[in-house]
Amino acid sequence: MKKIAIGVVAALLLSGFAYSPAFAETSSAPVEASGSGMVDEEKLESAFNDAGLTLEDVDASLTKISVETTSDLGSGEPVTALTTLSFEDSSALFSLGSIDTDYNANYSIQIQELNDEATSFTMTDLATGETESYADDVGYAAFVPVLVLGIPIALEILKTLLVASAVVIVAGVTWIAATNAIDALNKKGSSYQHFRAMILNGKLVLANGMSLSAAITWGRGGKDTWSRSEAGALAVAKGIKNGLAVVGPERDSGGRGKFAHFHPSNRTPAMHAFFGLPN
């Protein structure tokens, strides 16, 4: 197989990766992705092998990544799956087919959660309209056999893709590990200076870019931001309380990997205006 480099993180970050209707203004224009945050075919192949899947082919663009894999349905019967994951709306198209039998099916998948803490998605058979949901805490129902056949394979494929790409999905929004995202920004640039941020499992992750006014509105809701510069983070923190003196900059203790940040006046609302690189 031909080895290719996939600029997954750069593609997500620079093409409006975490689209949300409420923040439609934050989508940035597509930029050719290359350089930082790359996941190559060999790494993906190893990850899929660990999950009991064989990677046959992979293709990537600014807005999606497609992988073709082979596995079985638990009975030793070889099955080919083609999965296309959209970075724009946390959805996927998934098809299953078998050379040895007439079995084939096509699904759409809407992902609600896909991270270390939770996995949940809704899977719809495009031919019949049947829908089945999967969630870690409840599993999936046994009374929809066609969908159930596909869910275990789809689950492993989606998890492997997201882990290999330093990406997680929380509440339907795609987030990127901050260190990967910042590296991509530094190499490719962006018209945005401010980004949604969140602490997930002790690590900072980033979502789509925002204007200063959108970042202030986001922060007033008690949600974190990350800015490319200290001055940018200061502007966000001051703007949240209409220019009142801010707290900081400061950096949390507890080892390396911590980001400097400001808090709004009196630390309310309880948000962080992160900036720059970790220590």
Residue 138 tokens, joined: 């409840």
In the DSSP assignment, the letter for residue 4 is: -
Residue 185 has pLDDT above 60, yes or no: yes
Calculate mean pLDDT across residues 248-273.
90
Nearest Cα to 136, choosing from 160, 118, 121? 118
Per-residue model confidence (pLDDT) at position 9: 42
Confidence of residue 61 (pLDDT cuts 50, 70, 90): low
Per-residue model confidence (pLDDT) at position 213: 95
Residue 274 tokens, joined: 């992160």
Confidence of residue 28 (pLDDT cuts 50, 70, 90): very low
Per-residue model confidence (pLDDT) at position 11: 41
Per-residue model confidence (pLDDT) at position 249: 93
Helix (H) or strand (E) holding 248: strand 247-250
Per-residue model confidence (pLDDT) at position 5: 30
Task: Identify the residue whose tokens are 């309209």.
Answer: 129
CB 48 within 8 A of CB 160: yes
* Mean per-residue pLDDT of the chain: 75
Q: What is the pLDDT of residues 214-257, one digit of tens each?
A: 999 999 999 999 999 999 999 999 999 999 999 989 988 776 78
Measured CA to CA, the distance from residue 112 to residue 257 in angstroms comes to: 28
Q: Which of 8-17, 251-260, 264-273 has the lowest mean pLDDT?
A: 8-17
Q: What is the pLDDT of residues 114-159, one digit of tens each?
A: 777 778 888 888 888 888 888 877 665 554 555 556 777 787 887 7
Per-residue model confidence (pLDDT) at position 238: 97
